[in-house]
Amino acid sequence: MTDLIPITALGTPGGTQPQRARFGALHLAEDDSMGLASFSLRRGQGAPQAVALPGPGGFLGGFAQGQGIGALWMAPDQWLILGTGQALGDFAAQVAVLLPGGCVTDQTDAWAGIEITSDAGPGPIEALMSKLVNIDLAGFGPGRATRTGLEHMSVFVLRRSESQIAVLGMRSAAASLWHALTTAAARLDHARGTA
Amino acid sequence: MTRLSGGLIDRSRTLSFTFNGRSYPGHPGDTLVSALLANDVRLVGRSFKYHRPRGVFSAGSEEPNALVTLGSGARAEPNTRATVAELFDGLEARSQNHAGPLGFDLLAVNDLLSPFLAAGFYYKTFMWPKAFWEKLYEPAIRRAAGLGSLSMQPDPDAYDKGFLHCDLLVIGAGPSGLSAALTAARAGAKVILADEDFRLGGRLLAESHTVDDAPATDWIAGVEAELASLPNLRLMRRTTVWGAFDHGIYGAVERVADHLPDPGAGVRQTLWRITARRVVLAAGATERHIPFANNDRPGILLAGAMRAYANRWAACPAQRVAIFTNNDDGHRTALDLLGKGVQVAAVVDTRPDATALGPYRTYPAAQVTNTWGRRGLTAIRVAHEGGSDWVTCDALGVSGGWNPNVHLASHQRGRPVWDAAAQAFLPGACPPGMIVAGAAAGQGSTHAALHSGAKAAQTALADLGIVANLPDLPRAEDTPLNLRPLWHVPGKRRAWVDFQNDVTVNDIALAHRENMRPVEHLKRWTTLGMATDQGKTANVTAIAVMADLTGQSIAATGTTIYRPPYTPVSLAVLGGGDTGAQFRPRRLTPTHPWAQAQGAVFVEVGPWMRAQYFPRPGETHWRQSVDREVLATRAGVGLCDVTTLGKVDVQGADAGVFLDRLYCNPMASLKVGMVRYGLMLREDGHVFDDGTCARLGAEHYVVTTTTAQAGPVFRQMEFARQCLWPDLDVHLISTTDAWAQISVAGPQARALLGRVVDGFDLSNAAFPFMACANLTVCGGLRARLFRISFSGELAYELAVPARYGAALMARLVDLGADLGATPYGTEALGVLRIEKGHAAGNELNGQTTAQMLGLGRMVSAKKDAIGTVMSRREGLVSDTRILVGLLPVDAAGPVVAGSHLFAEGAVQQTDTDQGWVTSACYSPHVGSSIGLGFLADGAARMGEVIVAANPLQRQNVRLRVVSPHFIDPDGGRLRD
Amino acid sequence: MLIPHPLLGPRDAVEFTYLGDASLLARPDGLAEGADAAFHDYVYLRDNPAGVHRELWYHEQGDRSWLVVTRNTVTHEILGAELARDVALAMRGAK
C-alpha cells in the first residue's frame, strides 16, 4: 500500500474525511468510497451473459449479488459500473474480469459522488431536484438515472430509492456542485420554516 | 376614510405603510392601491409625457397609471404596479415622474406644450441640425423621459430557478381555471394551477354574485380545500406565467417574498421553467374604457375595477360616483356600489334603450363629453337627448366591454381574430397543446366560464389518453352584456386612449393623416401600447379608433400580436440566481488545496483556477517569482500541475485507424509504449488543436488536448465516431478529472522521479524521449508516466488517481529539496514554452495552419484525415507567414503580443502588414523580452530587423527575426 | 424546445449543442479523384431552408449521442429525431 494520503474531492489539505451537511429533512454526504469504471461493448459483441445491464435511462444497484456492484446506462453500448467501497483498489481491472470482452476505463476519481437522503419521504428530495435539474419526476422513480445539466455542470443523477438520490459531478467541480446543492437545500429548508 | 363594509380583508389586524413619506393604515388582504383608496388618496402619479396628474385606473396587472417605486435603498424597485402590490406592514412606496411634490409637478409645463408634443414629435423635431442630436437633444430628452429611477446599487436579494413538469398547466385561477384544475386533478392528472394573485378566485372575488346561492368565496374555499388534498396538483399563488415558448415550455415567475418586508435567508423570486404536455389558458379578460375629453383625471377608472375595490377590498375612490357605460356591466357596478352605501349620481349609458336596473338616475343615449377637477375629478359633462348637464361626482367608472386576455395564446405568432358577435378579439391559432377557456375565450359569464374550463380540461386530457369526468358545476349567473359598441366620444379636446404613453384620439387621427395607418405603424408612430402595461387597456380601443378613421372594419384593420413577457419580469429573476459563486462553476485542480497552502496566486483559465505563480518571502513583484521558477526549472527540476489538459481514453480494434483520421499526422503506426505529438485540423484545413497521443496497448490510446479545447475536441471525436465512421470499433471516454497529472521538468527530473517510482527503469535506454508506461509509485500506487516536454527540458508527466495528486506533489517537493525542486505556475509554464518555441493557444487561434506553425510536413498526404484535403488549398499553401522568434534590438525594449509586424520604414497600413506577435514574455534565460509571431516570408528573413507596431500605445519597437527556439534548438536536452 | 431523443424521450434543448445541416454526415472520400471540389462543397455549401430541415444536434449534457433532428425552422415543429449513427450506417449500406 502506498503511504500517500488521498483527499476527498471536497477536501482541504488534510481533508481526508468526506463532507456532510444537514438541512431539515435532507442529508447531504460526500461519498468517496465508490469505485467507478466505464464499460463499452465492442462492435458486434453481444450483451454480457453474466449480468443484465440496464437500458437507456436505467440504473441497477447491486446486480452482481454480494459484490455491491451496480451499473447505470451512460450512452448507447456504454455503462458506468459502480462498486461500493472499491475506490482504492484497481476497480477497472475488477470490472474487466466481471464483464470480459469489452472496453473498460477507470473513472473512479473522475467523479465526485454526493448522496442525498430525506428522512421525510420523497417530498424534500423531489423539491430539491425541481430546483436543480430539468428532469420530469413522473418518469424518474427508483432505478432511473440520467445525465443532465446542473448549474452549468454536467452530472449524473441516480434515483436510488424514493427518498435517496446520488449526484455524480466532475471531480474538479466538486466544490461548485456542493455549493449548488447546499444552497438549494438551505433555501428549501428556509422556505419550509417560513411557510 | 372611504372604507366600506364587507370585503376580503382581515380587519382584525392593522398594517402600517407609507406613501411619499406619510404613514397610512391598511389590512391584510389589501393591495397598496386598495389601502390608498381607503385612505382617500386618489392622486398616485404623473403621466409619462405631459406630467398630468393621474390616479388609479384598474384593479389588476393591466394598470397603466399607478406605477410607484416600492422599497428603499438598494431594494427600491421602480415602475411597479401599485394595483398588484400586496400590502405588508412597513411597506414603503413613492410616486414617480415628477419634479417637486406630486401635487405640484414643475414638469407639468409639458402639458401646456401639448400641441407641440403630438405623435411623431421627436422624429420630426429633432432632425436638425444633425450635430445637435447627440450633444443637446438626446441628453435633455433622456433626462426628462422615463418613469422611476433605479437605485444604482447591487440587488441585495437572492433569486433562484426551478423546473416543473406536468400533464396540464392551468393559467389563471378564476372560475374557468378552478373548474379546469378540479376536473383534471380529480382525473389523476399531474396538474399545475398558477395565478398571479395572492388569492384564488380571479374575477369571482370582485363580484357580489352568488354561486349555488351562497357567496362565491364559499365555493372557492371548497375547491381550494379539495385541491389542497390532491397530491397530484401543485397550486402556485403569486405566480405569473409570462411566456409561452416552443413545445409546451412556459416561463413563470413566483413572487416568493415580495409580500414580506424582507426575504431573510430565502429567495425573493423564483423563475420556473414549466414543461407542460397540455395547457388551459384561463387568463380572464381586461375591461376596456371609452375615451372622452379629459378622461384621465384621478377618480376616473374602469367600472369593473371600481366594483372590485368595493366588493373585494371594501374601498371606493369617492362617496359620490357616476358610471359611463355602453353595456349592462356598468349597471352592475352601480348596483353593487349602491348596496355598499355609495351614492350613485348617474349612470350615463350610450344605448338609447337603456333603463336603470336599480334606484339611480340613468341617462339613456347619453355620453360623457368633458370632465372637471384639477387634481381629481369633481364633475362630468353629460350630453343626452335633452341637452347637456354637469353632474357632480368625485369618481367615474367607465365600462366599454371586455377584451379577452389572449396574450399567451399569441406568443407563438397566433394572431387574435376579431369576433363581431363578442365585439372582441378572440384567440386565433394557439400554441400547440393550448386550449383557451373562460373570459379569455369570450366565455365571460360565470356559468360559461365554469363550464368552458371543465370542458377544456377534459378535452386536453383526452388528448393524453386520460379520461376526465365533468364535475357537477354550481349554479351561477349567466347574464349577457348587451353591449352596443362605442369606441370613443367624438370631440376636439384631448381624449386619452393609452394613459401610460399619453396617446390620445387626436394622436391617432394625426397618425391617420400622416398615413401611419397599419397597426404596426400606428403603434410605433404614437408609442401606443409600449412600456410596462404593453397597452392592455389601450390597444384594442386604438385599433377601433383607427378603424373608424379609415372606414374599415376592425377585422380588416387587424391587431398587433403579443410577445413575452405578459407582465414585466425583472432581469434579476431571469438570471435565475446565477450570480456570485453560482455565476459559473469553477474547476479546481487536484493540487489546489496544496497550492493554496503554499500561498499560490491563482488565475482563471476558462473554468479552471490554476496556480499562476508561487511567491516566496521577499518577492515583491510577480516577475521575481516567475523568473525564479523558470530558472530553477532549467537548472534543477520544476513541478507543475498540468491536469487541466483534456484527456480522452480511446479504445477498440479500430482505435488506431480512427486516430489516423482525426490527426493530420499518422498515429496507427505509433508503437505501444510510445507517445507522439499530434495535430488536429478542422475540416476547412486550419489547425483545430494539438496535443499528445500515447499508445498504452495495442487497442488502447490516451490522447491529450489543450485545456481550452477539451470540450470541443471530445465533441469532434464523438462526431467522427458516430457520424463519419460509424462502422469502426472505437470507444471514447473522458478521463480529464480522473488523473492528477504533474509535469516534472528539468535536468534533475530523472533523479527526482527515481526517488518515487517502484523499481522502474528510468534510464534513457529503457525509457527514452516520448516513451510512456503504466507503473506504480510511492509504494504501490498505480500511475502513468509519459516522457514528454513542453518546456524543452528533460521532462516527464506523471499521472496518479486524482485523490492522490496533492499528496504526490507535496512528496515530490519534499524529496526534491536537494535537487532544487520548485513548483511553478502558469506564468512560468508560458515562459518556458515561449523560450522553447512551442505553440499554444495564442498560436492556435483558429486562423492558423500547420504550415504557418512550421509543421506543414506533418500533414500526411497518404491518408484521409479531417482537414487534409482543404489544407492543400491554394490560398493556404501560398501563405508565406510562418512562426518566428523575435528579439528586441535594444535589449531593454518591450515585445508586446498583438503588435503587428512591418518592414522597417514601411508605411503602416493593412496592405503592408506582414504578420503579428502572438506571444511575448520576459525570458530570464535570454535576458530580455522575447516573442513569437507569424511573419510573411519569415523563414527567409532570419536576422532581419523589423518593426512591431502597437498603435494603441503609439509603440514602434525594432525587433530582430530569429529562430523560435530560444533554447536548445537541437533538442539535445529532451533526449539526454 | 424539446428534442425527442430516440432513446431517452423528450429532453430540453439546453442539454444539446447545435451543429447544423445534416448533410455533414456525407463526408466525401479525401483520397478519391476530385476530392478538392467535393470538400469545397461539403465544407462551405449548406442548405438553410425556411421550412423542414434536417439538422445535427449533440446531446452534450446527456448521453453524447449525435442526433439527426428533422425540424421545421419556421414553426419549430419537430417531425422526428434519429441517432445520427444509425443514419450514417444506413447511408453506408445504401452506397
- DSSP letter assigned to residue B768: -
Strands A78-83 and A35-40: antiparallel
My answer on whether A96 and A149 are in the same domain is no
Query: Does any domain span residue A59?
Result: yes
Tell whether the model's pLDDT for residue B969 goes beyond 80.
yes
My answer on whether B668 and B657 are in the same domain is yes
Could you say which of B247, B273, B723 has the minimum Cβ distance to residue C66?
A: B723
Best of C1, C5, C7, C60 to disrupt the A interface (most A CBs within 10 Å) is C7
- Of the candidates B709, B734, B759, which is a domain's last residue? B734
Mean pLDDT of all residues in B956-967: 96
Give pLDDT tens digits for B41-79.
999 988 888 888 999 999 999 999 999 999 999 999 999
pLDDT at residue B414 in the model = 92
My answer on whether B459 and B424 are in the same domain is yes
pLDDT at residue B771 in the model = 98
CATH of the domain at A152: 3.30.1360.120
- Of the candidates A77, A93, A108, which is a domain's last residue? A108
- Of the candidates A61, A79, A108, which is a domain's last residue? A108
- Residue B587 cell numbers, joined: 474547476
Neighbours of chain A (3+ CB pairs under 8 A): B, C
pTM of the model as a whole:
0.95
pLDDT at residue A52 in the model = 83
> What is the domain range of residue A69?
35-42+51-108
Residues of B in contact with A170 (CB under 8 A): 587, 737
pLDDT at residue B581 in the model = 81
Supply the mean pLDDT for chain A.
Answer: 93
My answer on whether A185 and A175 are in the same domain is yes
Contact pairs from chain A to chain B, CB under 8 Å = 164
- Residue C45's contacts (CB-CB under 8 Å, 6 or more residues apart) are none
CB B722 within 8 A of CB B658: no
My answer on whether B635 and B762 are in the same domain is yes
Neighbours of B468 (CB within 10 A): 24
My answer on whether B620 and B758 are in the same domain is yes
- Residue C84 cell numbers, joined: 445520427
Supply the mean pLDDT for chain B.
Answer: 94
Tally of domains within chain B? 7
Best of C63, C85, C87, C89 to disrupt the B interface (most B CBs within 10 Å) is C85
Least confident of B33-42, B121-130, B732-741, B852-861: B121-130
Residues of B in contact with A147 (CB under 8 A): none
With 0-12 / 13-18 / 19 or more C-beta atoms within 10 angstroms meaning exposed / middle / buried, residue B892 is exposed
- Model confidence at B111, pLDDT cuts 50, 70, 90, reads confident
Flag if B739 and A109 touch (Cβ within 8 Å).
yes
My answer on whether B547 and B658 are in the same domain is no
pLDDT at residue A66 in the model = 63
Residues of B in contact with C88 (CB under 8 A): 722-724, 726
pLDDT at residue B132 in the model = 65
Compute the distance between CA of residue B655 and CA of residue B650 in angstroms, rounded to an integer. 6
What is the domain partition of chain C in residue ranges?
2-94
Neighbours of B33 (CB within 10 A): 31
Phi, psi for residue B177 in degrees, rounded to 5: -65, -40
pLDDT > 90: percent of chain B: 89
Phi, psi for residue B79 in degrees, rounded to 5: 60, 30
- Model confidence at B145, pLDDT cuts 50, 70, 90, reads low
pLDDT at residue B144 in the model = 54
My answer on whether A70 and A141 are in the same domain is no
Flag if C56 and B723 touch (Cβ within 8 Å).
yes
Identify the closest residue of chain C to A72 by CA–CA distance.
C63
My answer on whether B416 and B499 are in the same domain is no
Residues of B in contact with A138 (CB under 8 A): 165, 190
Flag if C1 and B869 touch (Cβ within 8 Å).
no
Three-state SS sequence of B362-404: EECCCEEEEEECCCCCCEEEEEECCEEEEEECCEEEEECCEEE
Helix B505-513, helix B519-526: angle, nearest 10: 120
Note the residue count of chain C.
95
pLDDT at residue B127 in the model = 59
Give pLDDT tens digits for C4-36.
999 999 999 999 999 999 999 999 999 999 999
- Residue B879's contacts (CB-CB under 8 Å, 6 or more residues apart) are B849, B851, B852
Mean pLDDT of all residues in C79-86: 98
Mean pLDDT of all residues in B93-120: 75
Query: Does any domain span residue B863?
Result: no
Chain B, window 844-863: residues with a beta carbon less than 8 angstroms from a chain C beta carbon: 863
Flag if A13 and B597 touch (Cβ within 8 Å).
yes
Residues of A in contact with C65 (CB under 8 A): 75-76
Query: Does any domain span residue B423?
Result: yes
CATH of the domain at B345: 3.50.50.60
CATH of the domain at A65: 3.30.70
Strands B320-325 and B343-349: parallel
CB B504 within 8 A of CB B491: no
Outline where chain A has alpha helix (H): 91-98, 122-132, 174-194
- Residue B22's contacts (CB-CB under 8 Å, 6 or more residues apart) are none
Query: Does any domain span residue A15?
Result: no
Query: Does any domain span residue B606?
Result: yes
CA dihedral sign of residues B210, B212, B217, B223? negative
pLDDT at residue B148 in the model = 83
Give pLDDT tens digits for B475-529.
999 999 999 999 999 999 999 999 999 999 999 999 999 999 999 999 999 989 9
Tell whether the model's pLDDT for residue B117 goes beyond 90.
no
Tally of domains within chain A? 2
Query: Does any domain span residue A4?
Result: no
Least confident of A5-14, A164-173, B414-423, B753-762: A5-14
- Residue B432's contacts (CB-CB under 8 Å, 6 or more residues apart) are B247, B248, B412, C77
Backbone region of residue A164 per phi and psi (left: phi > 0; alpha: psi in -120 to 50; beta: other values): beta
What residue type is assigned to position B407 of the chain? H
Beta strand segments in chain C, E = 2-5, 9-12, 17-21, 52-58, 66-72, 78-83
Could you say which of C29, C83, C85 has the minimum Cβ distance to residue B864?
A: C29
My answer on whether B122 and B41 are in the same domain is yes
pLDDT at residue B868 in the model = 97
From the list B138, B116, B123, the residue with the least C-alpha distance to B516 is B123
Mean pLDDT of all residues in A43-57: 87
Strands A111-118 and A26-31: antiparallel
CB B21 within 8 A of CB B267: no
Query: Does any domain span residue B476?
Result: no
pLDDT at residue B258 in the model = 95
Phi, psi for residue B457 in degrees, rounded to 5: -65, -40
- Of the candidates B384, B400, B416, which is a domain's last residue? B400
Max CA distance (Å), chain B: 119
Query: Does any domain span residue B569?
Result: no
In terms of pLDDT, which residue wins out, B966 or B139? B966
My answer on whether B381 and B255 are in the same domain is no
Q: Which residues pair with B301 in a beta bridge?
A: B397
Give pLDDT tens digits for B725-780.
999 999 999 999 999 999 999 999 999 999 999 999 999 999 999 999 999 999 99
* B234 near A CB under 8 A: no
My answer on whether B296 and B246 are in the same domain is no
My answer on whether A126 and A189 are in the same domain is yes
ipTM confidence:
0.98
- Model confidence at B137, pLDDT cuts 50, 70, 90, reads low
From the list C76, A22, C56, the residue with the least C-alpha distance to B412 is C76
In terms of pLDDT, which residue wins out, A14 or B406? B406
Flag if B249 and C77 touch (Cβ within 8 Å).
no
Compute the distance between CA of residue B72 and CA of residue B154 in angstroms, rounded to an integer. 13
CB B162 within 8 A of CB A130: yes
My answer on whether B1 and B101 are in the same domain is yes
My answer on whether B730 and B801 are in the same domain is no
Tell whether the model's pLDDT for residue A135 goes beyond 60.
yes
* A71 near C CB under 8 A: no
- Model confidence at B121, pLDDT cuts 50, 70, 90, reads low
My answer on whether B122 and B29 are in the same domain is yes
Best of A148, A150, A167 to disrupt the C interface (most C CBs within 10 Å) is A148
Regarding the domain with residue range C2-94, which homologous superfamily does it belong to in the CATH classification? Folate-binding superfamily (3.30.2270.10)
Flag if C88 and B724 touch (Cβ within 8 Å).
yes
CATH of the domain at B86: 3.10.20.440
Tell whether the model's pLDDT for residue A13 goes beyond 60.
no
Mean pLDDT of all residues in A69-80: 95
pLDDT at residue A65 in the model = 57
- Of the candidates A67, A82, A108, which is a domain's last residue? A108
Tell whether the model's pLDDT for residue B916 goes beyond 60.
yes
* A130 near C CB under 8 A: no
pLDDT at residue B136 in the model = 65
Mean pLDDT of all residues in B179-200: 98
Mean pLDDT of all residues in B660-668: 96
Q: Coil, helix or strand for A23?
A: strand
pLDDT at residue B976 in the model = 83
> What is the domain range of residue B455?
159-286+404-463
Give pLDDT tens digits for B348-404.
999 999 999 999 999 999 999 999 998 899 999 999 999 999 999 999 999 999 999
